[in-house]
Amino acid sequence: MTTALDGRVYIVTGGSRGFGLAIAKDLVEHGGRVGLISRNTAGLDQAVAEIGTDHAFGVSGDVGHIDSIRSAFEAIKNHYGRLDGLVNNAGMAWPNPVENLVEQEVLAQVNTNFLGTVFCCQAAIPLLRGGDNPRIVNISSASAWHYDEISHLSIYAATKAAVERFTRDLRLEVQQDNIGVTCIRPGGAITDFAAQWNADGFKAALDAWHDYGTYMDMGMDVGHVGESVRYAVSQPPGVAVDLLEIRPNMRMPKVKFD
């Protein structure tokens, strides 16, 4: 284990699985400690057990509700006695053509992906202010700019584009507090992100995706996203990675869902 992040504490939202769990594991492997936040209590407990209770602490919370987040952030800082950074990773998508969008699914994506990022930044800033090289990393998505992932993700992509624009203003506002801000835009990697999607909706989105070409990019896994976050938070004081896009780069035929 290297010690580049020795003793530092980072909150990772959506930390029970997928990118969030990979990010948390990478930070811990390089000397950090993590506070994981998720609505999935069982998944949270499993993630903490995988990482180890000496290095991980889980708190159930909903990023779409500011009071829940403030309470969770305070609990994590009190547990470790410090806070050095926040990784806004929590996100969700519900693929659907624009004409068929369901109100509750639209609101859930906006509340989690965009408002959740805003609320978490609000809660984190006073806890990070005055710290030694504090960091905020907001996770966007290549879907905000590219058609590499499946179709019918208009709301998900729009919320991630909103995260990127919000991050630009955040970066300027917290410079006076010496808080470094980074936006990371990952491409697709194999996770269980789509595990709860409706099968018919998933198939329709994949079928429509083939209209944009025969091939897709592959070759990236969740560990690459973890490495990217570590790179961002490891920069010296006064230096910040502004925007980092990491995408798979191996051409393969697009998958089909029969």
| Per-residue pLDDT reduced to its tens digit, 208-226 | 777 777 777 777 899 999 9
Task: Give residue limits of the domains in the chain.
Answer: 9-248
For a pLDDT cut of 70, what percent of the chain falls above it?
A: 94
Active site includes 160? Answer: yes
Instruction: Single out the catalytic residue among 38, 141, 156, 228.
Output: 156
Instruction: Single out the catalytic residue among 10, 68, 141, 160.
Output: 160
pLDDT for the residue 191: 65
Distance (Å, rounded) from C-alpha 91 to C-alpha 71? 20
DSSP string, the chain: ---TTTT-EEEEETTTSHHHHHHHHHHHHTT-EEEEEES-HHHHHHHHHHH-TTTEEEEE--TT-HHHHHHHHHHHHHHHS---EEEE---------GGG--HHHHHHHIIIIIIHHHHHHHHHHHHHTT-SS-EEEEE--GGGT---S-S--HHHHHHHHHHHHHHHHHHHHTGGGT-EEEEEEE-----STTTTS-HHHHHHHHHHHGGG-SEEEE---HHHHHHHHHHHHTSPTT----EEEE---EEEEPP---
**100-109 average pLDDT score:** 96
| Per-residue pLDDT reduced to its tens digit, 155-193 | 999 999 999 999 999 999 999 999 999 999 998 876 666
Instruction: Single out the catalytic residue among 140, 141, 143, 228.
Output: 140
Active site includes 16? Answer: yes
Query: Is the domain 9-248 a CATH 2.40.110.10 member?
Result: no
| Per-residue pLDDT reduced to its tens digit, 106-153 | 999 999 999 999 999 999 999 999 999 999 999 999 999 987 678 899
